[in-house]
């Protein structure tokens, strides 16, 4: 058997790694110059950085075993500290009642609680019928907290109103979290294990990308990993995959294709795609990320790994301080690297801005937060990441269903990953998708990979990573 894998992100690499270990012939094609996708690591100014903050956490024992096998003990446990910046004040995330009360002041804090109670008592809207991100969050937190801690950041990230953002985003990313859950967690009431509240995680000493670089090395021992080789299209005959065609014209024949390229690109390149399917795919959109890295002449700036910027007066969305992840990233350097994230669409002016202009915008925004005081910014670099966030705009599920139903009719084609499945995956979701895709190819068993993420808590064995390896989750 020969399998072609499109894309060297977490999902594609995991699938290829598992198949290669089972003796399957693998050719993996990556459009970029490095592996890891959005989870890749870069070297800048003698230090290692990621594409923004990438925390790996899973309670799936199988996912964690694979991660530990690849990392081989080269990781540290990081105590998470993240905060929200709103109106020049910093709130701990997850929200802590005492901290929030102190920063909001008694009157605003009371108004938030009353807003929440009014929602609960008045039954503003039944949660099961909530269709938008706004209605979902208001049901869980009340309108005042929604407007304070959710609205501005979400609209920066997605570029659309929270009334146009589907409730699926909240259901997948916030899940069972509510104001009541936050209060219980903050006061240590009950045994809340919500993923968003996890305050400790394992981090590779060589950066997040180290995991995927080692997977690529394992694949290359028995197969091939081709960098800077974008795929143009997948070829079919009688609805069965026959080959992939690269942008340079080369055609690679194979028995199966695993695709992590953006789902819209995959459909656009398929031969004889029905008009209905092509039209549905054209309604699915992705959001781009611009990361501005600033080299700051200081070492002790602020304690967070990352900060969410909810202040509506700043276009900046998130700030990462790589000094606070693992000392192996910065070594003996006496300077810090701060990453600033901006989100946009292809037709937004910021996407086409010159690097110098973006570095200037980032420098002014970072200075305005007060996080670096009067420390000098000595240099800057820009990384652009296209098509990295699938946009859950209202109605997207109907369009996606048309596409997935058609793809299910095609033989020997498996779309997975954040881009390939149009799923807002974390690393662990994508790794699990890759593992299951490989297993299905090896065993010829059918399964619904599209369900991973929304039903992710259905794994059979729960365990987390600690200092000494895999640790069972207390019941």
The answer to whether residues 321 and 254 belong to one domain is no
Residue 128, pLDDT score: 46
The answer to whether residues 329 and 376 belong to one domain is yes
Whether residue 472 lies inside any domain: the answer is no
Residue 23, pLDDT score: 95
Q: Looking at residue 361, which CATH number applies to its domain?
A: 3.90.660.20
Domain boundary residue among 192, 214, 247?
Answer: 192
261 touches 7 (CB < 8 A): yes
Residue 191, pLDDT score: 46
Number of domains in the chain: 3
Q: Could you write out the DSSP letters of every residue in 406-418?
A: HHHTSBSEEE-HH
Q: From the first residue on, what is the mean pLDDT of each consecutive set of 10 residues in the chain (475 residues)?
A: 97 98 97 96 98 93 96 96 90 74 81 83 55 88 86 94 91 65 57 56 97 97 95 96 97 97 97 96 97 97 96 94 97 97 97 98 96 97 96 95 96 96 92 95 80 56 87 74
CA distances from 312 to 60, 86, 87, 438 (A): 37, 8, 8, 44
Whether residue 53 lies inside any domain: the answer is no
Q: Which long-range CB contacts under 8 A does 17-23 form with residues at least 24 apart?
A: 17/70, 17/215, 17/218, 17/219, 17/434, 18/434, 18/435, 18/438, 18/439, 19/438, 19/441, 19/442, 20/218, 20/219, 20/221, 20/222, 20/223, 21/218, 22/438, 22/442, 23/222
Cα distance between residue 204 and residue 142, in whole Å: 38
Whether residue 50 lies inside any domain: the answer is no
Strands (E), 30-163: 41-44, 47-50, 75-79, 82-86, 89-93
Whether residue 298 lies inside any domain: the answer is yes
Residue 242, pLDDT score: 97
The answer to whether residues 269 and 291 belong to one domain is no
The answer to whether residues 212 and 128 belong to one domain is no
Whether residue 48 lies inside any domain: the answer is no
Structure tokens at 391: 């946009």
Whether residue 313 lies inside any domain: the answer is yes
The answer to whether residues 262 and 340 belong to one domain is no
Q: Looking at residue 217, which CATH number applies to its domain?
A: 3.50.50.60
Domain boundary residue among 192, 221, 244?
Answer: 192
The answer to whether residues 380 and 311 belong to one domain is yes
Residue 460, pLDDT score: 56
The answer to whether residues 210 and 158 belong to one domain is no
| Residues 6 or more apart whose Cβ sits within 8 Å of residue 412 | 240, 241, 255, 256, 257
The kind and range of the H/E element at 286 are strand 286-296
Whether residue 474 lies inside any domain: the answer is no
The answer to whether residues 385 and 291 belong to one domain is yes
Residue 246, pLDDT score: 98
The answer to whether residues 185 and 97 belong to one domain is yes
Distance of CA 205 to the CA centre of its chain: 20
Residue 123, pLDDT score: 55
Whether residue 435 lies inside any domain: the answer is yes
Cα distance between residue 166 and residue 136, in whole Å: 9
Instruction: Give the residue numbers spanning the domain of 313.
Output: 286-390
Residue 449, pLDDT score: 73
The answer to whether residues 267 and 298 belong to one domain is no
pTM, 2 dp: 0.91
* End-to-end alpha carbon distance in the chain: 42
Domain boundary residue among 373, 390, 407?
Answer: 390
The answer to whether residues 255 and 332 belong to one domain is no
Residue 107, pLDDT score: 85
Show the DSSP H helices in 352-420 as ranges.
355-369, 396-408, 417-420
* Token pair 């290359």: residue: 220
The answer to whether residues 179 and 315 belong to one domain is no
């Amino acid at each position: 058997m020969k399998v072609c894998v499109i894309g060297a992100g977490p999902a594609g690499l995991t699938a290829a790694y598992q198949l290669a270990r089972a003796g399957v012939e693998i050719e993996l094609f990556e459009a970029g110059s490095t592996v890891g996708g959005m989870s890749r690591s870069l070297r800048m100014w003698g230090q290692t950085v990621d594409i923004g903050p990438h925390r790996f956490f899973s309670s799936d024992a199988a996912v964690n075993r694979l991660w530990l096998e690849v990392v081989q003990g080269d990781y540290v446990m990081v105590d998470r500290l993240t905060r929200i910046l709103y109106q020049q004040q910093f709130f701990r995330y997850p929200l802590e009642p005492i901290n929030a009360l102190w920063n909001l002041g008694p009157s605003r804090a009371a108004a938030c609680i009353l807003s929440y109670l009014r929602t609960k008592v008045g039954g503003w809207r039944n949660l099961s019928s909530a269709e938008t991100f706004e209605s979902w969050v208001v049901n869980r937190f009340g309108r005042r907290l929604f407007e304070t801690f959710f609205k501005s950041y979400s609209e920066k990230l997605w570029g659309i109103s929270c009334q146009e953002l589907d409730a699926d985003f909240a259901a997948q990313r916030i899940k069972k979290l509510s104001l009541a859950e936050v209060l219980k967690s903050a006061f240590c009431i009950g045994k809340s294990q919500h993923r968003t509240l996890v305050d400790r995680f394992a981090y590779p000493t060589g950066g997040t990308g180290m995991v995927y670089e080692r997977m690529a090395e394992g694949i290359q021992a028995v197969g091939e990993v081709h960098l800077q080789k974008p795929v143009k299209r997948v070829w079919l005959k009688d609805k069965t995959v026959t080959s992939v065609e690269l942008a340079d014209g080369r055609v690679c024949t194979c028995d199966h294709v695993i695709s992590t390229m953006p789902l819209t690109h995959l459909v656009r390149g398929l031969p004889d795609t029905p008009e209905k399917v092509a039209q549905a795919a054209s309604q699915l959109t992705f959001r781009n990320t611009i990361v501005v890295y600033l080299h700051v002449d200081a070492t002790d700036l602020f304690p967070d790994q990352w900060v969410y910027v909810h202040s509506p007066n700043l276009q900046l969305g998130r700030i990462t301080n790589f000094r606070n992840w693992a000392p192996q990233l910065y070594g003996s350097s006496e300077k810090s690297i701060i990453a600033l994230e901006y989100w946009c669409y292809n037709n937004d002016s910021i996407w086409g801005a010159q690097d110098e202009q973006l570095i200037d915008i980032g420098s002014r925004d970072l200075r305005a937060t007060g996080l670096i005081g009067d420390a000098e910014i000595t240099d800057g670099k820009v990384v652009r990441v296209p098509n990295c966030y699938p946009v859950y705009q209202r109605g997207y599920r109907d369009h996606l269903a048309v596409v997935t139903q058609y793809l299910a009719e095609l033989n020997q084609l498996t779309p997975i990953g954040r881009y390939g499945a149009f799923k807002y995956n974390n690393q662990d979701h994508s790794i699990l998708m890759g593992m299951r895709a490989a297993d299905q190819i090896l065993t010829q068993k059918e399964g619904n990979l599209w369900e991973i993420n929304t039903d992710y808590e259905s794994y059979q064995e729960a365990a987390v990573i600690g200092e000494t390896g895999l640790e069972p989750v207390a019941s």
